[in-house]
Structure formats: C-alpha cells, structure tokens
Amino acid sequence: MNLKLKRIKELMAYTLQVLKEEGIGPVLRRAIGFIKRRFFGKKARYLPKKQVLEAQRREGAQGAPGPVISICVPLYNTPEPFLRQLLDSVLNQTSPGWELCLADASDDAHRPAVKKLVDAAAQKAGERIRYKVIENKGISHNTNHAAALATGEYLALADHDDVLAPHAIYTVQKAIAETGAAFLYSDEALFTKKIEKPMVGHFKPDYAPDYLLCCNYICHLAVFRRSEFLAVGGERPECDGSQDHDLFLRLLERLEPSQICHIPQVLYYWRVHAASTSGGVAAKPYVAKAAKKAIADHLQRTGQQGEVKDGIFPSTYKVDWVIPGEPLVSILIPNKDHTDDLEKCLASVYGKTTWQRFEVIVIENNSTDPATFEYYEKAKERFANLQVVKFEGGFNFSAINNFGRKFAKGEYLLLLNNDVEIINGEWLTEMLMQASRPGAAICGAMLYYPDDTIQHAGIITGLGGYAGHSHKYKKAGGSGYMFRLATVQDFSAVTAACLLVRSEVYDEMEGLDEGFTVAFNDVDFCLRVRDAGYRIIWTPYARLYHYESKSRGSDEKDKAKKERFATEQKRLTDRFTRRGLTHDPYYNPSLTLDREDFSESADLRNLKDPQTAL
C-alpha cells in the first residue's frame, strides 16, 4: 500500500476511535489546532497566552510561588544585542523570585560595554543582580564563580547569549513547590533573532538515564539545589566542552528518580549562531573528548563496568557494557508452517550470532503441512541446541510463549518471531549488554522492513490511541528526533518480535497475559514490567529484518479478528487507563499522537495554558 494512503487510513481509523470514545469536541479541537498550525503560522507558538502571563505577574506581586532561584551566567565578550536580550528576559520574568549572578571574564576591550548593560539592568533590579569581574580560566571555572555569588536555594544555568522564557522562573518555582524535586529540567527551543519566531522545539522525555548516557538530552533549562551543586564540587574544568553533561551525571547519581522532575514547558531559548554548540559540535571539537570522560568517570563512580565509545553520530556516545558471566539465552520461536520463513530465521541466527551461549526452542502451533514436521526433524540435526515442542490449542501468542518458557533453561528469554532475519552478528551481545544491567529487565532491537525502512525502534504508548512504533516507515540511516534513532535509550515498551527479558522477571510477571491472544501482549507485558520498577531499554545496535505478519495475515478485513482486536484494545485501556496510555513518560505531550514521526503536535494547549490538561 502507498505510504501516504496507509497513513491517511490509520489516521482516519484513529479519528473514528476518538470520536466514538471522547465525542466530537476533542476531534474538532485537534482539527482546528492542525489548521491553525499548518495555515496560520507558528509565531510565539511555545509562549503562554498573554492573560496567563498577566495572571502570573499578579500572583508574583504578592510573593514568589517558590524558593529563590539564582540564575548563573558566565560572561565572556558577550555581544551587546545578545546580552541585552538575556538581561531583558530575566527582568521580565513573571515571578520576582530570582537573582542573576554574572561572572564577567571579558577582556579589557569588551568589558566596559558589558558592564554598562549590566549596570543599567541593576538599576531596575537592584541587589537581585550580582556581578563580579574574574579572570578567564574556562567555562567551568567561570560558571563556578557565578555560582559562588548565589544566595538562592536553587541554581539555574544559562548561557550568556541565550534567552529565558518569561514564565521560566515562575514555572520552575511552582514545580518545586508541588514536587519538592532537587533537580528539574524543561523543554527548550532554538532561535536566531526573536523567541517569538522559534526554529524548532526540543521536546524531551521524562528522566531517561540510559538516554542521558548516550547524549546530553537535558541541556536547558536545568535547575537544581545549590546544596547539591556544592556537594559535588561544582563544574569540573577537565570536562570543559561537556561540563554540563558531566555535572548532570554527578548530580543525578546522588538522587532518587522521585527527586527528578521534567517540566514539559519551553522555558529556555537557545540561540543558534556560528560559535554555539546549538549549531553543531563542529564549532567546538573538544566536546566529544570531554563527554566521553564525563561518562567514563560516571561509570567508575557508580561501580559500573564498560568502555565508552563514540556513537553513530557526533554528540552521541555508546557504552560497551561488561556482561556478567556467560549467561545462556533461550530463544523462543513460535511457528505454524511457513518453513521458508523459519529457515531464513534459523540460518541467520546460527550463521551470524557471535554470542555462542544460546538454545533455540521452536514452539510448534497447529501446522497442517506434513513437510513442516519433516523440516523440524532435519533442523534438529542441522542446528545445535535446537528443540521443537508442540503447543496444543488455538492461536494465542501469549499462551504459546508461556508454554515454550517451560522448556527454557536460560537466564534470559528471547521472544523472536519466525519471520525475522538477523543483520549484524553482535545483535544478541548488544541486547545482553543492556538487559543485564542493574535495574534493567528488557531490551528491544531495531527492526527494518525488507525495503530498509523502520518497522520498530521502540514502542510509544498513546500513538494512534493505544500504542505505536517510534519512527515507523522512516528510512534507515538517520539520527531520528533528537538522536532517538541512534542512541540506546529508555522506552515504555518494545515489540515481542524481538524481545530479550530476564527469565526471573518473566516469571515474576507470570509471563504474557493470555487475555491478549494476538495484539498488545508485548505492550501489556512491558508496562507491567515498567510499573514493577524495572527499566525497558531499546538499542539501535541490534539490527534485524522483520517480514511483519506473514505468519498470520492481516486482521483488517476479517470481522472476527476485528472484534478480537477491539476486545484487546479495551483490555489494555481498562488495565492502564486512557490517560495512562496517552501520557508515556518517554514521549513528550507536545509531540503528536497521530503519527510515529515525532512531529510537533497541532494541539499545544499545555504550552499556551499550563493549567490546561491535555
């Protein structure tokens, strides 16, 4: 089917589902939002409505809604227009509960102009602006001097050429008051001249520790307790270039996840120009070296064993983890006839896999072709550690795998479809690296269609109303949204077409829920694992082809199958609720739920009015 037609058909199905479940109102709001965004421009699209800002100012006039936040900015030969915009953005905050700490390392030729602008701002703000001339010894040294001027309970880091959103301090203070978080970070946007005309937003997931190891997705605006900053000794000059990434790792390794808060608001505008890292790391080539040191030092401090390497793209990194021992992996492959598919799968597993400690359990499910059973006998002779077990009963993917688990001896189970083909020999090693880490339980893989477009790069709940695959249909080889196609990262779920799980966790969850006979069994299983406190990780370094649904055909035109699918949709919603599904912590609410491409949502009510629930 033509890709555009397929997308239109999927979108129409989702629209009808929303109409049925939520009524005409939500459908119209989405349609109006799409039309506004597509045809009436994007000006100030990340800024709250004027009446919202005015209400915040009235509240701020009665007192700040939370603790004082000290904004720490190292200055160095700052261009006057850039510094003026920064100062104005601080002076125009809707909450008065801030102080601005400026450490000026400018040379003699530039300092008078810088100081003149600072003095003018200080006349308006008084003692809330603290300024000190220092010797230039690098970004970390200069930032630490700015922080030394601070008296606020929390610190915020800002670059001298960037801009704070007018509601930044207010919003962070509110979040602190509500959550008590020790570390908070927001979404951000890139701009060139005016924040009313942003280039693009960076809409981030909630705290994602595995993603953070591969790239500094947190960036701006980051706010944290001053006591924590002092406890870790501030920023380290030896990590200049990736000093913030290093600082975040050192701060966050001291905190519990409940102390870390992501604010899904664009509170910071990052200026793009030739000398800025927002324009690419080519401007600062020492960034990669510093980042790898920051990650390696983090591993050493936390007692983790691994080698830090460059990632697939600049500004991304990879850890080759040491796998404890030599665990056995039990590969479970359900099969009904389709021996050509199974042969391709087995030949690639045995012919390419570099991890040698595995067994294969083919779970026979009601095959009718006598040639299938002849194939099984020959396969057991050709492939070592392969057994065929017979499941009796109708097709139920969950029950079939639960049955196969009874015969598995491995410390890990790999659920694998019979219609996949291995691409790279390290695939299983890469998955074991992730699933064997403390706190992790599941790892998923990159799956491609035969035409080298993406079939699966992690599952996002809420897409299409229930769940969908990240970056589906995108061409192979790209970095994806904020490097999310090119980095190991956290997800709420991954597909059971290739899913590695600790055997003890599989048993703890009592396996797959057999109430999901075909659809959503993997989503349900992963969400139960996630809610039990384990991490689900996806890696782009395990790559397979997936000849999707060949073994059971399409459900679209079969009435009974459509009814079963609707029943399984309801079962998923009843268990996790509509809100639970549409608020995936690893997917930002400002991104669309209508497509898999991480495009910006047509409905940005949560940015226009932060009090409005999605």
Report how many domains make up the chain: 3
Going by C-alpha positions, the residue among 584, 320, 309 that lies closest to residue 458 is 584
Same domain? For 360 and 230 the reply is no
Question: What's the full length of the chain, in residues?
Answer: 614
pLDDT(194) > 60: yes
Query: Percentage helix, strand, coil, to 5, in the chain?
Result: 40, 20, 40
Same domain? For 121 and 187 the reply is yes
In angstroms, the CA 434 to CA 323 distance is 9
Going by C-alpha positions, the residue among 346, 321, 332 that lies closest to residue 440 is 321
Same domain? For 8 and 150 the reply is no
Q: What is the arithmetic mean of pLDDT over 257-261?
A: 97
In angstroms, the CA 215 to CA 16 distance is 39
DSSP 3-state assignment of 495?
Answer: coil
pLDDT for the residue 553: 46
In a domain, residue 531? The reply is yes
Read off the pLDDT of residues 44-65 as tens digits, 9 standing for 90 and up.
899 999 999 999 999 999 999 9
pLDDT for the residue 552: 41
pLDDT(233) > 50: yes
In a domain, residue 306? The reply is no
In a domain, residue 324? The reply is no
Alpha helices in 355-502 (DSSP H): 370-382, 397-405, 427-435
In angstroms, the CA 500 to CA 547 distance is 19
In a domain, residue 193? The reply is yes
Read off the pLDDT of residues 269-296 as tens digits, 9 standing for 90 and up.
999 866 555 555 454 668 899 999 999 9
pLDDT band at 1 (very low <50, low <70, confident <90, very high): very low
Same domain? For 373 and 398 the reply is yes
In a domain, residue 527? The reply is yes
pLDDT for the residue 19: 72
DSSP 3-state assignment of 200?
Answer: strand
Same domain? For 18 and 93 the reply is no
Same domain? For 158 and 282 the reply is yes
Going by C-alpha positions, the residue among 127, 248, 124 that lies closest to residue 182 is 248
Distance of CA 547 to the CA centre of its chain: 26
Same domain? For 186 and 61 the reply is yes
Pairing of the two strands 440-448 and 498-502 = antiparallel
Same domain? For 24 and 56 the reply is no
Same domain? For 117 and 34 the reply is no
In a domain, residue 296? The reply is yes
List the structure tokens of 499. 């899913």
pLDDT for the residue 4: 55
In a domain, residue 488? The reply is yes
Read off the pLDDT of residues 10-22 as tens digits, 9 standing for 90 and up.
566 667 766 776 6
For residues 149, 154, 160 and 163, what is the CA-based torsion angle, rounded to 10 degrees?
Answer: -140
Same domain? For 501 and 399 the reply is yes
> Which CATH number covers residue 567?
3.90.550.10
Domain span at 31 = 3-41
Query: Residue type at 85?
Result: Q
Read off the pLDDT of residues 339-388 as tens digits, 9 standing for 90 and up.
999 999 999 999 999 999 999 999 999 999 999 999 999 999 999 999 99
Same domain? For 98 and 226 the reply is yes
Same domain? For 104 and 223 the reply is yes
What is the residue whose two structure tokens read 């940015």? 607
Q: How far is CA 100 from CA 181, 183, 586, in A?
A: 21, 19, 32
In a domain, residue 111? The reply is yes
